[in-house]
Structure 1
C-alpha cells in the first residue's frame, strides 16, 4: 500500500489537498470518489449546471472541466516522475484552461463520461506504478514533488472542489 506523502515531498500549497484525503487505500478511495462526484453532478437541471455562485466564478460544468483538466495534467506529471524522467515540467494556468474549454456548451453527460475516462486512466496508472517509484521526485511548476504526492493531490483536489460544490453551489 502506498503511504501518505511527507511534507517534504510537495510544495506547501498542495498540503491543503493532501490533508483532505482519508487514510486507507488510495485506489479504492479514487474509485469511490468518482462515483460520489458523478452522483452529485448527475440529474442536474440546465440552470444548476451553469450556475455561478458569484460573478466571475466558474459554473458547475466549468468546475467539472477544471477537475478533468487538472487530473490529466497531474497524472501526466505522475507518469513522468514515476518513470524517472528528470525534465522539469511546466505549470499551467487553470483559469485560461477553463476559459478555452467551453465546458458550458457541452452536455453534462459528456463531461461526466470524460471524467470517468480520465479517472479510469489515472487508476490504471496508479495501479501499475512499481513500489520503488512512488518516492521518486521531479520538478513541476518550479516545485519539487514526488509521484505519490501527485496521486494524493489528484484525490485531494477533487475533494476540495466537491466541498465547494456542496457549500457554494448547494449540491
Structure 2
C-alpha cells in the first residue's frame, strides 16, 4: 500500500498526520518507524523516561504510552471498517486516557514492549487486508474514513510525536 489517501478519505483534522507520512510502502514505513523508535528510545533511563519538558506536560513515558493507546484506537477503526461495520466510529478524550493510563507506574522497558506489540499487531492487521478492503470507508467525526487513511494516520501520529520527543525530550 503505497498510495496516499485522498483528502475525502479522512476528516480535515487528520491532515496534520497524513502529510507527515513519506512516500513509499506504508508497511515498510511502519516497520522502519518501529525500528528507529526502539533504537532511539531503547537505551533511555527511567529518569529520562520520567522527564517533562515543562510544567503540566506529559512525561516522555506518557507520550510513548499515548502513541500506543492511539495506535490501538486506530487499529480498532481499521478493523471495524475492514469487517464492514461502517457505523459512526467513536472518538476519545486523550487527557482522560493519559490520566487513567498505567504508563507512569510501569518500567519504561514495559512501555516500549507494549509499543512493539501494538506496532506488530498493526503491521499484521494491515498486511492481511487487500487493497480493496483498505479503500472501504466508515464514518468518523461526521466524515468518511477509509481504512487506508486510518493506517496513514497511525504512521503520521507517531511521526508527529517523535518529532516532539526529539525536539523537547531528548535534549543534547
Q: Same fold (TM over 0.5)?
A: yes
Q: Counterpart of 1:96? A: 96
Aligned to 1:16: 16
User: Which residue of structure 2 lines up, in the alignment, with residue 46 of structure 1?
Assistant: 46
Distance in 2 separating the partners of 1:100 and 1:143: 29
Q: Deviations over 1:37-74 (max 9, x none)?
A: 11111121222111111111110000011011000000
For 1:36 and 1:160, the matched residues in 2 are separated by: 14
User: What is the alpha-carbon distance in structure 1 between the residues aligned to residue 40 and residue 162 of structure 2?
Assistant: 9
**Do the aligned residues in 2 keep the contact of 1:64 with 1:111 (CA within 8 Å)?**
yes
Aligned position for 1:117: 117
Q: Which runs of 5+ in 1 are unaligned?
A: none
- Cα distance in 1 for partners of 2:48, 2:84 equals 43
Q: Is the 8 A contact 1:2 1:134 kept in 2?
A: no
Is the contact between residue 17 and residue 160 of structure 1 (CA under 8 Å) also seen in structure 2? Answer: yes
Count of aligned positions: 171
Partner of 2:126: 126
Q: Which runs of 4+ in 1 moved over 4 A?
A: none
Give the secondary-structure state (helix, strand or coil) at the position aligned to 1:138.
Answer: strand
Alignment of 1:157 with 2:162, yes or no, is no
SS at 1:15 equivalent: helix
For the aligned residue pairs, the C-alpha RMSD in angstroms reads: 1.2
How many Å apart are 1:170 and its aligned residue?
2.3
- Displacement after TM superposition at 1:4 (Å): 0.7
CA contact (8 A) 1:74 1:150 kept: yes
Deviations 1:74-117 (A, max 9, x none): 01101111222122121101111111012111011111111111
- TM-score norm. by structure 1 comes to 0.95
8 Å Cα contact 1:90/1:142 also seen in 2: no
Q: Deviation per CA, 1:15-41, whole angstroms, max 9, x where unpaired?
A: 111111111111111001001111111
Q: Distance in 2 between matches of 1:8 and 1:141?
A: 13
